[in-house]
Chain A
Amino acid sequence: MKARYLVPVAILAALLVFLGIGLSRDPREIPSPLIGKPAPSFTLPGLNGQPPQMTEQNLHGRPLLVNFFASWCQGCQVEHPLLLQLSQQGVEIVGMDYKDTDADGAAWLARHGNPYRAVIADAKGSAGLDWGVYGVPETYVLDASGTIVFKQIGPVTEEVWRDKIAPLLGVRR
């Protein structure tokens, strides 16, 4: 007889568990369908024409990070010190200046420092569209074959670097 009264309690407990899971998840983190797929192709100039042209082929050959940023982006300033630190440790990062003018992008890098091995000017956001970017900063981890293995939406933090990205790059710390 007692078991009957436990049923509503059990249902309530199950609902609370689901609610808890729902609340602890970040709704911004939409799983990317590009994980496990080759990096989408693009042909774009470098920032201020340096280098004159970059394609996805330039990203092949070694694991690296592709970081979509912009001079107008607040979150980018949050993660920027960490990116600078990582580049000093030898992590290869390619920047995608997303929906930005060359002048603004270059000025922003001059002021905050440049952690990028190369900066690609995605002035119209066309590469961003193909890569499924919907809000900078977004950071993609590519393996040596140019396959996307991870996507970070929002700023890269110490925790994200340590727990998710560093193991993928096989970084020795």
Chain B
Amino acid sequence: MRTAIALFLVAIGAAHAADLSADQDARYQALIQELRCLVCQNQSIAESNAPLAADLRDQVSAQIIAGKSDDEILDYLTARYGDFVRYRPPLNSRTFLLWFSPGLLLIAGLAIAWRVARRRADVAAAPAVDQSKVQELLRRVEEHKS
């Protein structure tokens, strides 16, 4: 499967190799890996065979040739397809949880682990039973019986 994908990527690259300089081609490859195919959703436009992915790849290479910057190309596609087209959506109020929930969950997990550990430490550090007092009490109980 991996080889198939690699071969496919090479094939896509070859189709544009004639038009793009090595520098442009590196940008092209980086961009198409980062753009999501909206039809298949779990593939980048580099991997997808869908006609839309081919259109978007053509669009990306055409705009690179036209001298557009990476940001301009991403803005162009985001304006049409929304943040969804990017695998790394920009940080804003709507994507805040998407970006930070892993960190928040980690902090919550650490807090719980710390509390549990502290409780166990408290139990371990509980004052030892005073053996002499126990003996004293037992002795008094015996006395009381007799």
Interface size grouping (class) on chain A: 10 to 19
Is B67 an interface residue, CB under 8 A from the partner?
Answer: no
Whether, in the assembled complex, A132 has its beta carbon less than 8 Å from a beta carbon of chain B, the answer is yes
Residues of B within 8 A of A129 (CB): 55, 59, 80
Interface size class of B (residues with CB under 8 A): 10 to 19
CA distance A27 to B80 in the complex (A): 18
Q: Which of A30-38, A87-95, A107-115 contacts B (4 or more CB under 8 A)?
A: A30-38
B54 to chain A, nearest CB (A): 10
- Residues in A whose Cβ lies below 8 Å from that of B79: 33
Q: List 17 A-B contacts (CB under 8 A).
A: A27-B41, A30-B38, A30-B82, A30-B84, A31-B84, A32-B82, A33-B79, A33-B82, A33-B83, A34-B80, A129-B59, A129-B80, A131-B80, A132-B80, A132-B81, A134-B39, A135-B38
User: Which residues on A sit within 8 Å (CB–CB) of B41?
Assistant: 27
Least CB separation from B58: chain A residue: A129
User: What residues on B are CB-neighbors of A134 within 8 Å?
Assistant: 38-39, 52, 81
Known contacts: A125-B55, A129-B55, A134-B52. The answer to whether A33 contacts B39 by CB under 8 A is no
Q: How distant is the Cα of A21 from the Cα of B52 in the complex, in angstroms?
A: 28
A99 to B51, CA, bound (A): 10
